Structure 1
Amino acid sequence: MPNSESRLPVATLEPSPRHGVPQPAATIDTRTRIDSADLLRGGRELLIAHAGEEYRLRLTRNNKLILTK
Structure 2
Amino acid sequence: MSDPPAKSVPTPSGPPLRCLESGQLLRGQCEVLIRHGDEIYRLRHTRNDKLILTK
- TM-score under structure 1 normalisation? 0.58
State the shift of 1:51 in Å.
Answer: 1.3
Name the structure 2 match of 1:56.
42
RMSD over aligned Cα atoms: 1.4
- 1:37 aligned to 2:23? yes
Structure number with the higher strand fraction is 2
Among all aligned residue pairs of Structure 1 and Structure 2, give the percentage whose two residues are the same amino acid. Answer: 52
CA–CA distance in structure 1, aligned partners of residues 13 and 41 of structure 2: 30
Unaligned runs of 5+ in 1: 1-25
- TM-score under structure 2 normalisation? 0.72
Name the structure 1 match of 2:52.
66
> Could you list the runs of 4 or more consecutive aligned residues of structure 1 that deviate by over 2 angstroms after TM superposition?
26-30
